[in-house]
Amino acid sequence: MRDLGAGFGHLLKGQRWVARHGRSYGFGLVPGLITLVLYVGVLVALALWGEDFVAWVTPFADDWSSPWLGLFRGFLTAVLFALALLLAVLTFTAVTLLVGQPFYEALSERVDRDVSPDGTAPESPLPLWRELWISGRDSLRILVRALLWGVLLFALGFIPVVGQTVVPVIGFFVTGFFLTEELASVALQRRGVELRERLALLRSRRMLVWGFGTPLGVSFLVPFVAVFLMPGAVAGATLLARELLGEEIRDGAGEPSEGGAAAPAVSPGPSPEH
C-alpha cells in the first residue's frame, strides 16, 4: 500500500513541477494537441458509422425480429465504442510520445537536472532519428501487448456480473501499467534501459506503477484531460524512473528553474531488489 501512495505522489509531484515551470508546460502541450485532433476524428467517425459497421459484420442477424435485432446490434455498437475508448486511452500516450519525442526528451531532462543532487541529467548518445526508431519500435511492441489484453478483457466482458464489475477494474490496472511504461520510457530509454529491462523494473514494483498509472488512466477517460496532464505525467514518470533505478532526488527539489546548459550525464544507480 505504501508503494501505491508513492506512485500517486510522483504523479502529483510531476503536475506540480510543470505548474511551476510554465514554459516547459506550454512546450509539452503541443504534441498532445496534435494527437487529440487525430483521435477525435477517429472517434467521431466511429460514432457516426459504428452502427453501420456492426450491421455489416453481423448479416446473420438481419432476419431477427424486433426488439432482439436492435438490442443485439445496439449492444455490440456500445461495446465497440467502449473498446475503441479503451484502446484510445492505451495508445494515446504512445502516439503522443512518438509525435512529441523531442519535446518530452527536453522536458524530462529539465526535470532530471532540477531534482538531481548535482544538477546533471543522463543524456542519450544516440542521434534523434535513432531515438525515434527505438521509440516507435518499442511503442508498437507495447501496443501489441495492450491489444491482446484488450481482446481478452473484451471477451471476459460477456461474463454476467463479473464482466460488468471485476473486468472493468482489471482494465484500469492494465491501462495504468502500460501508460506508466510508455511515460517512463522517455527517461529510461535516455539511460539506455531496453524494453525488456523496463518491463522487468515495472513488474518488480507493480504497486508503485499502479499508484501512478491507474488514476492517470481513469482521468484520461475525461475528454481533453489527457492533453493537459501529459506534460506533468512525463515529469512525474521521470521521478518514478529515478526511484525505480535507485537514483537520489535532492531535498527541496522542484523549485522554479527553466533549465540551463546541458550538464554531463550521470550513471543510473542500481535497481533495487524486491
pLDDT of residue 265: 37
> Is 248 in contact with 117 (CB distance < 8 Å)?
yes
CA distance 181 to 30: 21
Question: Which of 16-30, 46-60, 212-226, 233-247 is the most confident on average?
Answer: 233-247
- DSSP 8-state class, residue 267: P
Q: Average pLDDT, stretch 218-245? A: 88
Q: Average pLDDT, stretch 247-264? A: 51
Give the three cell numbers for residue 197. 529491462
pLDDT of residue 258: 41
- DSSP 8-state class, residue 85: H
CA distance 230 to 272: 27
CA distance 150 to 247: 34
Residue 244 vs residue 269, higher pLDDT: 244
Give tens-digit pLDDT for 186-221: 899 888 888 889 999 999 999 999 999 999 988 887
Prediction pTM value: 0.72
Cβ-Cβ contacts under 8 Å for 127 (sequence gap 6 or more): none
**DSSP-H helix ranges across 157-224:** 162-190, 195-204, 206-220
- DSSP 8-state class, residue 84: H
Give tens-digit pLDDT for 7-26: 999 999 999 999 998 888 88
- Residue written as cell 498532445? 32
DSSP three-state, residue 126: coil
Q: What are the extents of the domains in the chain?
A: 2-36+86-244
pLDDT, mean over the chain: 81
pLDDT of residue 90: 66
